Amino acid sequence: MPSLIDVMLEGRQVQQHRPWPRATVDASVWTFAASELAQGRWSLLGLWGEPSTVHMAIMDGYAADIVVVSLDCPDCVYPSVGKHHPPALRLERTINDLFGLSAEGLPDTRPWLDHNRWGVRFPLGNRINALPKAPPYRFLPAEGGGLHQVAVGPVHAGTIEPGHFRFAASGETVVRLEERLGYTHKGIEGLMIGASVESAAQLAGRVSGDSTVAYAFAFSRAAEAALQLVVPDRGIWLRALLAELERLANHLGDVGAICNDASFALMHAHCSVLRESVLRASNTAFGHRLMRDIIVPGGVTHDLSDEGKEIIQMALDNVRLRFPALVELYDNTASLQDRTVDTGVLNPALAKQYAAGGYVGRASGRSFDARRTLAYPPYDDLRFEVPVLNEGDVNARIWIRVREVEQSLSLIDQILDRIPEGPPRARAGQLREPREGMAIVEGFRGDILVWLRLRDGRVERCHLRDPSWFQWPLLEAAIEGNIVADFPLCNKSFNCSYSGHDL
Amino acid sequence: MRKLLLESLFRRPFTEQAPSPHDIAVTELATAVGRAVRRRLGRSLSIREVDAGSCNGCELEIHALNNAYYDVERFGLRFVASPRHADVLMVTGPVTKNMREALERTYHAIPNPKWVVAVGDCARDGGCFAGSYAVVGGVSQVIPVDLHIPGCPPPPTMILQGLLALLDRAAKNASSI
């Protein structure tokens, strides 16, 4: 069996791509990689375009080896990966929408992010005028006696992000769910082209509001890899502190919100209070409740004072005091368990195929956690466990979150205890020649991938891949056979990002 | 569960545990909002929130308004599921071209009189997303806006402050007719 290294040797390695190698390959190697993905030997981490090139990031899960393969497509055509490996489908539809590069043999050629509202087609490639009138979007058919459709969105009943869900149901049971996303597409990757590194970092922090720290972290690490910029130790540790605070706040909020979708408001009320206490501590310590724009290439902009340290410690003590009672409440409430156990089961084989990150993957037997598998600093120097379950139901996803709350508490303790002194930030220098960098950072939702090329201190191209890309399709699979009324519950237990996905 | 409920009965509410100036500001604001809402609309003001393309940051802070610290429902400010039930349309995000029609349709589904509150820096003029091929711009380019609450995202206290300002203006307009 050829390794990823062999694939690299088949191609022409690109200089100045860090930390993992990138090689330009020909169509046969590209197709070979696609078939290896389909065989389940490798995992797809990302697939993105440039005006006449497509790139694919692949991981060999056992060896934790990562490579990027690139294929030039001057004729705007490349062999489809999605044809062999379904997780690539929406990514290839997106590449077509944005760049006008078409995947040969792609089984689904409907547009994805392009709703024919932009006034232009292929905005990041060779722009052409939009269609005068777009054909109506065809949802996949579900046929049979007694089937009916339920259309939901893009404006939902709650205070959440917009997206459209089309259910085909037989009585109460969901036969097929099809998602239609792209409503929050803001063209962030387009805005990044030509932006300074500073403003691109700000944009990265606004891809998905709940993961603003993780995105800024991933972008900064990618930029630092490209520029070979060394971050001072204190900066490295502060970043992990910020990332764990964000994870803690999100998990606390979501555990409550999932229970709320099973009409158990008590959990929600108590969890929201704990979440708020973490946000307030973050605000006092770092000057922003969501800790936006604190992580920048080179380090962090806001150092932690002794007072801030104390406030965070107090918030942690409060969570430690109150959270166990809530976990017990969840565990001992039979009517709530009745809703969550065996609901929205995600088959571990699918989680593996889609390389699902975060609690979605880890509740279905996939142990990947970028903090552990890729062990970027300071996580290589911290003790923590990666909880994994195999049941794959809503209940399992809640338990993974609960365990991760405990792990984050312990991680924050270790960080506050051992954080080194020194400057929190190094100044970034400028390099004229093009440099490429890539980073993968574990956000609360899963692994965020950022790839970029810098030239003259500006971003030439930056791609940001949200973990939701590989989780949204799995929600469609997990809801099948459940009742329509359990959809909010299943959806919240996945809590995929709309904005992170639509970009 | 009984123990938790019992504890909650006897524990002082979170809203009053206010040793820091920050929390005192919340309480003052809370009283003011309460008075204004009652004067204008009896005891109810229903808000329908629409994300017209935000990063979800503003939604998180709007959610926080419902937690025990801010508890907006005690003033009669309620988030409702249908625009048909709403008095206020609260919009976040730069309006994306893909969301423009949905926003317009939601606005038109709200019965008169109605107010529009734009929340967040990008809801004013598109913020850092302005100029993109996929973005229309601020909310006011699509529907008339009565109030803008700045911030990225504005903290819950500021959103409450904004709603207070809106209520004051609505009350003035009503008395001048």
Across chain A, what does the average pLDDT equal? Answer: 94
Would the pLDDT of A355 be above 90?
yes
Contacts of A256 in chain B (CB under 8 A): none
Q: Hey, are the CB atoms on A499 and B135 less than 8 Å from each other?
A: no
For residue B22, give how far its alpha carbon lies from the nearest alpha carbon of chain A (Å). 10
pLDDT in tens, A390-414: 999 999 999 999 999 999 999 999 9
| B135 touching A (Cβ < 8 Å) | yes
In this prediction, residue A352 has a pLDDT band, given cuts at 50, 70 and 90, of very high
The helix (run of H) or strand (run of E) holding residue A451 is strand A447-455
Q: Hey, are the CB atoms on A266 and B5 less than 8 Å from each other?
A: yes
| B129 touching A (Cβ < 8 Å) | yes
CB atoms within 10 A of CB A283: 17
Q: Hey, are the CB atoms on A292 and B54 less than 8 Å from each other?
A: no
In this prediction, residue A328 has a pLDDT band, given cuts at 50, 70 and 90, of very high
- Beta-carbon contacts of residue A158 (< 8 Å; ≥ 6 apart): B81
Contacts of B4 in chain A (CB under 8 A): 266, 270, 325-326, 329
| B164 touching A (Cβ < 8 Å) | no
Contacts of A498 in chain B (CB under 8 A): 56
Nearest CB to B99: which of A183, A202, A497? A183
- Beta-carbon contacts of residue A360 (< 8 Å; ≥ 6 apart): A346, A351, A397, A446, A467, A471, A474, A494
| B157 touching A (Cβ < 8 Å) | no
Q: Are A186 and B132 in contact (CB under 8 A)?
A: yes
Q: Hey, are the CB atoms on B51 and A160 less than 8 Å from each other?
A: yes
Would the pLDDT of A122 be above 80?
yes
Separation between Cα atoms, residue A296 and residue A282, nearest integer Å:
17
Predicted pLDDT at B2: 79
- Model's pTM, two decimal places? 0.93
Over range A23-27, report the average pLDDT: 94
In this prediction, residue A135 has a pLDDT band, given cuts at 50, 70 and 90, of confident
Q: Hey, are the CB atoms on B134 and A190 less than 8 Å from each other?
A: yes
Contacts of B134 in chain A (CB under 8 A): 118, 123, 185-187, 190
pLDDT in tens, A277-304: 999 999 999 999 999 999 999 999 999 9
β-pairing, B135-137 vs B95-96, is antiparallel
For residue A29, give how far its alpha carbon lies from the nearest alpha carbon of chain B (Å). 35
Q: Give percent of chain A above pLDDT 70.
A: 98
Q: Hey, are the CB atoms on B99 and A154 less than 8 Å from each other?
A: yes
Chain B: residue whose CA lies nearest to A159: B49
Among A122-136, A174-188, B13-27, the range scoring the smallest mean pLDDT is B13-27
Q: Hey, are the CB atoms on A191 and B128 less than 8 Å from each other?
A: yes
Please report how the helices B21-41 and B156-176 are oriented relative to each other, as an axis angle in degrees rounded to 10: 30
Q: Hey, are the CB atoms on A269 and B67 less than 8 Å from each other?
A: yes
- Give chain B's length: 177
Nearest CB to A159: which of B59, B100, B132? B59
| B3 touching A (Cβ < 8 Å) | yes
- CATH numbers and ranges of domains, chain A: 4-104 (3.30.460.80), 147-180 (no CATH), 188-297+304-501 (1.10.645.10)
Chain A: residue whose CA lies nearest to B67: A272
Q: Hey, are the CB atoms on A183 and B96 less than 8 Å from each other?
A: yes
β-pairing, A53-60 vs A447-455, is unpaired
Strand ranges, E, within A343-400 = none
Q: Are A136 and A114 in contact (CB under 8 A)?
A: no
Contacts of A182 in chain B (CB under 8 A): 98
Q: Hey, are the CB atoms on B102 and A183 less than 8 Å from each other?
A: yes
- Positions in chain B short of pLDDT 50: 16-24, 177
The amino acid that residue A135 corresponds to is P
Predicted pLDDT at A290: 97
Contacts of B101 in chain A (CB under 8 A): 117
| B34 touching A (Cβ < 8 Å) | no
Predicted pLDDT at A26: 93
pLDDT in tens, A482-492: 999 999 999 99
Separation between Cα atoms, residue B121 and residue B124, nearest integer Å:
6
Among A83-87, A261-265, A328-332, B32-36, the range scoring the smallest mean pLDDT is B32-36
Contacts of B69 in chain A (CB under 8 A): 273, 276
Over range A316-327, report the average pLDDT: 96
Predicted pLDDT at B23: 47
Half-sphere exposure of A389 (CA within 13 A, CB side): 20
- Closest among A215, A219, A187, A250 to A502, alpha carbons compared: A187
Size of interface A-B (CB pairs under 8 A): 149
pLDDT in tens, A30-43: 999 999 999 999 99
Q: Hey, are the CB atoms on A203 and B128 less than 8 Å from each other?
A: yes
Q: Which of A94, A114, A155 to mutate to test the interface with B (most CBs of B within 10 A)?
A: A155
Predicted pLDDT at B72: 84
Number of helices and strands (H, E) in chain B? 6, 7
Predicted pLDDT at B16: 37
Contacts of A333 in chain B (CB under 8 A): 1
pLDDT in tens, A431-443: 778 899 999 999 9
| B152 touching A (Cβ < 8 Å) | yes
Contacts of A251 in chain B (CB under 8 A): none
Q: Hey, are the CB atoms on A206 and B128 less than 8 Å from each other?
A: yes
Report how far Cα A449 is from the mean position of its chain's Cα atoms: 7
For residue B98, give how far its alpha carbon lies from the nearest alpha carbon of chain A (Å). 5
Q: Provide the token pair at A12.
A: 């022409």
The amino acid that residue B49 corresponds to is E
For residue B24, give how far its alpha carbon lies from the nearest alpha carbon of chain A (Å). 14
Beta pairing partners, A483:
A173
| B93 touching A (Cβ < 8 Å) | yes
Contacts of B109 in chain A (CB under 8 A): none
| B13 touching A (Cβ < 8 Å) | no
Q: Is the dihedral of CA B143, B149, B152, B153 positive or negative?
A: negative
Nearest CB to A276: which of B55, B67, B131? B67
